Each structure stands twice: as structure tokens, then as C-alpha cells.
Structure 1
């Protein structure tokens, strides 16, 4: 419910602040008085596009603020999701700066226009020619039938399952695309993997092989050095071990002359042991070193394979080659197992398809059951609105794919007169007929679901006094359960409001201003009399106005 609206610096409005109550609110005013300006200001706070030219004072910002009572709209989860402060009385605000920038707020928290627009759609429904044409679309027509069939919970369940079904379809499509693309690469990837698997890939292997290669390719040099080293240690005349043996004997004798020689003796003994051990080890190396051309060739082959693979895969070291091998193994494995994954995903999709199909059939049966009721209510209400021959042909047929609201196509045809062919609403119904049909549909919807505040902008244009009175009755009845606004030029409709506002223009020496005020009972009499007979009100016009109000 819209409780207040404040508009500053918009078009011809300097500052307007109006409060509203529940029930049926009438807004009247002469042509050009500024009713469209009021709607324009309201559209800003509902998230519609801003226009810098709408600023009255180009050097000041335009501010439109609307307060809504939102407790009955179950919007708390949305506020929580968007991290907004939830208040039963929520304020939407829109600011248009002189620079052309626009800002939006919900309870003083900055928000995007998408959030403002979503809340606007939940809170107020402004009837317009565009929305009348929306009535001719399948989604809107299904919404009406689903409201009568009480399909809300079933549609919620269908929507969640359909989302999972579509996600499964996307996953299956990716698997099929992967299979198609990877099949082309599979042979090449398998070849690369086998090539890497044939190589001795482990951390440190390259250094180990290079060391072995160096030793095997330099056997003669190594043998020569080992022989010379061993000779230096063991020569009978000048060998280091020979000399140390004699030195060791001397130090042993010295140790017998006192403890001060013990330490030197121990050190000499240690050196002798180390030199003797080195001599033995050098001899062992010498005995084992031998030329092995076959082994040298094998090691050279392994090294060349490693070098070739490093170059081929543009890798810096063996670690990168190992990572490449693992990645190739995963690709080859995925390709070889994608068939099983596809079968599993296809089975999952089939199960989801069957589940959705069952829900879709349930929806179809429930819709078919209420079609006669909708047809009856529409035709009866339109008969009271001056369309006694209006008839509908409403048929529901299975569709080929799952849509957002099931798997149905809707045939919603209309004939305004006897003997005329049925056709789509947008082709065979006039503007006046569409407005009456829209009002009828909205009134039926209001009986079955919680609708937002509704504002009808001259929905009664082009109809007679008697018909307009009945349209007023319909809006009055709707207002028993919701807030209804009607912008009208017809006194028969205006007389039925619970409160009545007049939009008017005032001029001073410099400019024109648009204002709006709530009329007292006597002011309503005057306004209705003027609507009936013009400015020169006759006694009969005043009497007629009082009669309408009473």
C-alpha cells in the first residue's frame, strides 16, 4: 500500500507531499493539469528511466520519495538476500542530480535500479496502454489461469526442478562437446603420454644420468688419476702411507716419555688411519672402473630422450615434464571415460524429464479444469460492461519443450460480436475493449491472489456513463481487499472513491506550478458538477453530483 509520496523539483512540481489511505482513491483534473506529471514522478521511484529535462530547476536535484506499507507482501527474504534493512513501512527514494546522474535508495541504503524496479513491480501496478498489450501475451494469460487453479506451489516446485533439468542439460552438452573435441586430440594425446611414460621421469634423474655419462665417457682419464693418486699414497719409497707408517712408529715411542706427547700421537694415528682408508678406497675405485660402451650408449639414449622431451614440451626441467605427463594422463583418462559420464548424465536428464513431464501434466489438468470458470466469469463481467456478445475460446495444448510455467501452449481467442470470427486479442479487440477486458481480468485475479497497489490511468476512456459507472463498481469492489487508484475524467467513476484528489495548475507572473489536494465533501460536489457540466455549473449538475456521491 502506498501511504505517502513526495516529489521535489520535477517538471511543473516544486514540492508536492501527499498521503493516501487504503481503499479506492480517485485522482481527477483538467486535461493538461499535470496528472501525467504525477505518474512520471511516481515512475521514477519505481525504477523507470530518468530524464534530465524533467528537472524544474536545472541547478537543483530532483527527489521523489514514496513510503509503502509492505508487511503483507512477504518481501523479508528479498531484503535479507540484498542485505537491506527490512521495515514494514519502507521508503523508496530516487534522486536525479543536475549532472544527470541518478541515485536510488531503499530505507536510505543505496541500491541499483534493478532492485528498485523489482520492488516497484511488487508494490504498485500502474495500468498503461503497454500493460494492456501485455495482457495479450501467453505468460500473462497463463498467470490468470494459474491463479484460478491455485497452481502457485506446483509452479514453484516445477521452477526449481526445471532449473536443475536445464543445468543437467548444459552439463550434458559440455560433455558431448568435450567428447567431440577430445576425440580428435585423443590419439595425439595418447602418443604424447606413451612417449613421456617411456622416459625415466623422476626428480633428479637428469643429474644422475649426466653424472653416469660423464664417468663412462671419461674412463681412461679417471683410471689414470686413480692410479696416480694411489701411487702417491702407497709408493714404497715416497708414498704418503709409507712415510706415515714410519711417523706413527716414532710418535708411539714419544708417547712413552710423557703425557704431553699423547695428543700428538693420537692425531698422527688418526691421520694414518684416514690415509690408509683413502688408499683402500682409491684402489677399490680403480679395480671397479672399466669401459662399458653398451651402458654408455644406453645412458646417452636416455639423456637424449629427456633433452628432446624438454625441448618438445617447452619445459624447463623434469618437474614440468612430470606435470605435463599427469595433465595428459587426465585428458586421456577423461576422454576414455567420457562415454560413461555421458550415459550417466543422459540417464539423469531422462529421470528429470519424466519428473517434469508428470508435473506439467498435473498443471495442464488443473488449468483445463478452471478454463470454463474463467470463460464464464470473463463473459459475465464483460456483459455488464456493455459487451453482451463478448465470447472467449480458451484452449490448452501440450508444447514441445518445458517453459517457465510448464509445457503448455495457450490458445486465447476473442470475439466481441455475434457472428464474428475468433481471433487473438491484440488483433480483434479495440482499445476500449482491451481496457475493459484488462479491468475484468485484474478484478478476477484480485479474488485469487495478493496483488500490489493498482493504479488505473483513464482505463474508462471511451465508454459511456452507465458502463463507466459499472467499471467504477468493479474497481470499488476490488478496493475492499487492496489499494486502488483511478485517474479518471468520468464523474460516474469519480463518485465512487473513498477519497478524492484533484491535480491542478497555478500560474504566477513567472511560471506555472502543478499541485494536488485532497477534496472535502463539498469540494467533491463542485468537482463532480464541473465534470458533468463544465465550469458554469447548473443547479441540476450540482444536484446530479450530490446524487452520485450519495
Structure 2
């Protein structure tokens, strides 16, 4: 609920602060005093509208999902709308986009001024119907969950089968392509790190002759090795260092000659061709490792294509079993719903009678299987589709649906905001709307603008919007002031004794 609302500088309003209570909160006042403007500013603070106010601020008791929004939840969360050069929105002083704030508040706030069909969506109507069934000791929610799990498993298998059947149409082409790709890589048969070894061989072949020639010339050093050893001995110096160096040099030359001689039978053209083949694979696949991985992937795909008939047969069998089960569960759900629909319709029409509307026609018809079953609920009023009934009729029908839904609410349903829902209604019709709203106020905080004494007298909190020297002001009324205001609504500015007496009667009767 909204615990506090503050408005600064919006048209006739300068500074307004109110502390709404739970239940039915009524706003009244002469025409042009600013009632709709105040309502618009409250909606603006919550991202459900926009206005030119300097500041609109609401303190609410909603729990905010801080994981989604990155906002730390507080006992009371403050929503702000500030308009300077541009509109900006804040939650607990953290800037946030209008889109995000609207998504958040839409879970808690309903503005019943336009034809919003969300209350008549099939999912919502089925939930009301199923909640009634559940209350009568039929564990339909467990049945619904079993149906839902089966339905999604059925959809999963059906999707897999559809993909398989699409692949089957081009299976020969896919098999041919996979075989071709495998054979191309197998013909080359690349080995990991082979390309690096080939580059090394290429480099050694290119410098083989020059290196062997230089080694041949350098071998002459060994012809005079004994002379050097004799000279060192004559100097009476240990010659082991020289012997070790010469042996190391001799081994180095011999190793190089052996390595190059091993390349004697290697054809440089073959090496270059092999390098070119490996390079082509790398260019296409990125690396030798990736080419080998690609080949393995195609081998797996080929096996899959070759076993597609076996897989398809299994999926068809599984789909048939799930299809039978999901249809059976859907039929069971439908039987419960069909049985309850008659009582649901009677209860709905009893509220419509209170609201001075003719009976609604409620139809349960088969539709394509969804996660909610095979049932679709359609509601018409006076055999007229909802899109074609008047806004007044639509809103009263919507109130009746909300009452049916509220019977199964455990906690607070959020906030309902209604702008002159009793406009152009007779006194009896207005009182019927007021009684329905009072019942709804057990589960919703309701803000309503009214020009009728019946609805006004039913309010649990009453704010008067009035003009004082062209400035719009808001005053919470006490019981005596409420009598005066309701009397004004009845008889106009010149309040009569009869109007005051009737106002007292209404208030006493509705306490």
C-alpha cells in the first residue's frame, strides 16, 4: 500500500502531503478542484503516468526484488518522479528508467480507468475457476502441475521430432556432405604438430648444402688436434678442458651430419606439397586440432543420420504416449472446470445483479492445448463481446471478476485506482459499486474519485480537494466534515437540512 504521498508544484497544487490508510480511500471535491490532477500525480510517482510536477513521491510497503533491480529493499520503499528539464524516476534515491519502474509497479498497481482486458485473460479466469475447485477439496492444483509437466515434456519431444523430420527430408544430402567432409580430412590425415615439424624440415633442407660445406671445411681443425695437445702438455697444463671441447665439437658436427644425411631421401617438393595441404586445412578450420575435431563431429553426425530411423521410431512412440497422457489430463481438468462453471456463472451474475447489470454469458470452449489445458473461458455481457460494451459496464463487470478473485487472496492484492467509476450511475447503481469496492478493500488499497454520496459515504478514509484563492489543497475530513461534504454533493453549495440529514444517515449506515 501507499503509506505517504507528497506532491510539489503541479498546476494548482503547491505542496500536498497525505497519509492514505488501507481500505477504501475516497477523494471528492467540486469540479475543477484538481481531483484527477492529484490522481495523475500519484500514478506518475509510480511510473504509471507522467505529469509536469516538480516532485511526486510515494512511500510504499511493497517488497522489491533487489536481485532483478539491484536495489536494496527497505521496510518502506520510496518512489520519486522529478520533472526539471526532463522526467527522472528514483527508487530509494537510486535512479531508474521509467520502463523498469513501470514493470515493477504493474505487479502491485491497477488503474481502472481504461478498458484493460488483463482481468479477462484466459489464464486469470482459469485461475479463479481452479481456485474455487481447489477450495471444494478437489486437489486440482496437483493435477494442474502434473498436466503442466507432462505438457512441456510432450512439447519438447514434439519439437525434437519436428526437427528430426525436417532433417530426414534432406538426410541423404547431409549424409553425403558429412562423408565428403570426413574423407577430405582423412585423405590428408593431419597429425597434431605435424605442420611445425614440416616447417622445421623445410628450413633445414634449404640450408643443408651450405651447412655441410662449412662443417667439411671446419673438420680440418681435427688434423692439428694432436699438435695442440702436445703444446699444452709441454706447458705442463691439464689438457682435459681442450679434449672435452674438441670432443663436444666433434659430436656436434657428427650429429649435424647425421641429421642432414637422414634428409637425403626427403623430397623438398613432397614437403612443400604437404605444407600446402596442411595450410589449406588450417585456413578452413583454424588449426590442425580444430580440423581433427571437426572430422570427429562429422563422424558423430554421420552415425546420427545413419541411426535416424531408430531415433525417429523411439520419438514417435514417446510422443504418442505423452500425447495420450496430456489429453487425458486435459480432459480431467476440463471435467472439473465444466462442473464448476455453472456455479461460477451464478456467482458472477449475482454480483452483476447487485451492480445493476444483466447476466453475463460464460462459455468454456475447447482450444489448442496450452500449459493451462485445453479450455478457454469467454465472457460476454448481454450477448455482446467485451470489446463492444460501454466503459461503465466493462468496469463494473471487471469489479465483479475482481471480487470473485479476491475470495482466494491470502494477502494484500496491491492498489486499485479508480477515476469516477460511479459517474453517470443512479444512486442505487452507485451504492452497488460502493458495496463491491468495500468488499474488495479487504484485499486492496483502493483510491477512488467520486461525485456520488453513496460511494463517498462508504469510504474508510475521505480526502477533500478544494480551491483556496486559486491554490488546490487537500484536507482529510473528520466525521462532521464528511457530513458537510456529502451534503454538498447531494444538494450543491446551498446545503439543505434534508441533504445534511441524508448524509448522516448514509454515514451511519455504512460505518
TM-score (norm 2): 0.78
Which residue does 1:126 correspond to in 2? 111
Provide, for residues 266-324 of structure 1, a one-character-per-residue CA deviation record: whole Å limited to 9, x for no partner. Answer: 6787788789x689969x97xx96997xx344x53243221354267549xxx964234
The 5 A counterparts of 1:219-238 are none
Give the SS at the match of 2:115. Answer: helix
- Output the CA distance in 1 between the equivalents of 2:67 and 2:213: 86
Q: Is 2:76 the partner of 1:89?
A: yes
The residue matched to 2:375 in structure 1 has which SS? strand
1:493, 1:222 → 2: CA distance? 109
Structure 1 residue 18: Cα displacement: 0.5
Identify if the C-alpha distance between structure 1 residues 88 and 374 changes in structure 2 by more than 3 Å, giving closer, same or farther. Answer: farther
* Structure-2 separation of matches of 1:33 and 1:100: 27
SS at match of 2:194: coil
Q: Which moved more, 1:166-175 or 1:200-209?
A: 166-175
Equivalent residue, structure 2, for 1:310: 279
Match of 1:520 among 478, 493, 497: 478
What displacement does 1:465 show?
A: 0.8
Does the 8 Å CA contact 1:199/1:306 hold for their aligned counterparts? Answer: no
Q: For residues 231-289 of structure 1, what are the alpha-carbon distances to aligned partners after superposition, in whole Å with 9 as ceiling and x for unaligned?
A: x57xxxxxx64x6557767887x6xxxxxx432666787788789x689969x97xx96
Q: How far has the Cα of 1:349 moved from its partner?
A: 9.2
Q: RMSD of the alignment, in Å?
A: 4.5
Q: Quote how far apart the aligned CAs of 1:467 are.
A: 2.1
Equivalent residues of 1:435, 1:460 under 8 A apart: no
Structure-2 separation of matches of 1:522 and 1:159:
57
Q: What is the aligned partner in structure 2 of residue 402 from structure 1?
A: 370
1:65 paired with 2:57, answer yes
Contact 2:466/2:474 (<8 A) preserved: yes
Q: Distance in 1 between matches of 2:391 and 2:248?
A: 115
Secondary structure at 1:129 match in 2? coil
1:500 to 447, 459, 462: 462
Match 1:110 to one of 78, 87, 95: 95
Q: 1:312 to 1:123 in 2, by over 3 A?
A: closer
Distance 2:229 2:26 in 1: 126
Change (3 A) 1:327 1:271: closer
Q: Which residue of 2 aligns with 1:6?
A: 6
Q: Which deviations, in whole Å up to 9, do the C-alpha atoms of 1:475-525 show, x marking residues without a partner?
A: 223324443332111111111222211112333xxxx33221112222222
Distance 1:466 1:504 in 2: 27
Question: SS of the residue aligned with 1:91?
Answer: strand
Give the C-alpha shift of residue 25 in structure 1: 1.8
* Between 333-342 and 519-528, the greater mean CA deviation after superposition: 333-342
SS of corresponding position for 1:22: coil
2:460 is aligned with 1:486: no
Pair 332,18 (structure 1): closer, same or farther in 2 beyond 3 Å: same
Q: Deviations over 1:404-460 (max 9, x none)?
A: x44432332332xxxxxx342223x33332222112111222211242132322222
Q: Which entry has the higher C-alpha Rg, 1 or 2?
A: 1
Q: Structure 1 residues 477, 214: closer, same or farther in 2, change over 3 A?
A: closer
Distance 1:409 1:172 in 2: 28
8 Å Cα contact 1:25/1:486 also seen in 2 = yes
The CA distance in 2 between the partners of 1:541 and 1:250, in whole Å, is: 142
Contact 1:213 1:300 in 2 (8 A): no
1:64 deviates by 1.2
Could you list the per-position Cα deviations for residues 172-196 of structure 1 after superposition, in whole angstroms to 9, with x for gaps in the alignment? 8889999979938535533442243
Equivalent pair of 2:8/2:56 in contact (CA under 8 Å): yes
Whether the aligned pair in 2 keeps the contact of 1:26 and 1:499 (CA below 8 Å) is: yes
Whole-Å separation in 2 of the counterparts to 1:279 and 1:497: 106
User: Which residues in structure 2 correspond to 1:338-349 (within 5 Å)?
Assistant: 339=305, 343=311
Find the counterpart in structure 1 of residue 137 from structure 2: none
Whether the aligned pair in 1 keeps the contact of 2:178 and 2:298 (CA below 8 Å) is: yes
Separation (CA, whole Å) in 2 of partners of 1:547 and 1:280 = 123
1:318-370 alpha-carbon deviations (Å, 9 max, x no partner): x9642342343254245335557995996899598788767655654443343
2:363 and 2:378 in contact (8 A); partners too: yes
State the TM-score, normalizing by the size of structure 1. 0.73
CA distance 1:540–1:199, change in 2 (3 Å) = closer
Which of 79, 97, 102 is equivalent to 2:66?
79
Pair 1:92–1:359, CA change in 2 (3 A): farther
Closer, same or farther in 2 for the Cα pair 1:152/1:112, shift >3 Å?
Answer: farther
Instruction: Tell me if 1:41 matches 2:41.
Output: yes
2:496 maps to 538
Identify unmatched segments of 5+ residues in structure 2: 135-139
Structure 1 residues 347, 268: CA separation in 2 closer, same or farther (over 3 Å shift)?
Answer: same
Q: Distance in 1 between matches of 2:110 and 2:56?
A: 17
1:432 is the counterpart of 2:432: no
SS of aligned partner of 1:102: strand
Deviation at 1:11, TM superposition (A): 3.1
8 Å Cα contact 1:158/1:406 also seen in 2: yes
- Output the CA distance in 2 between the equivalents of 1:265 and 1:5: 103
Shift of 1:140: 4.2
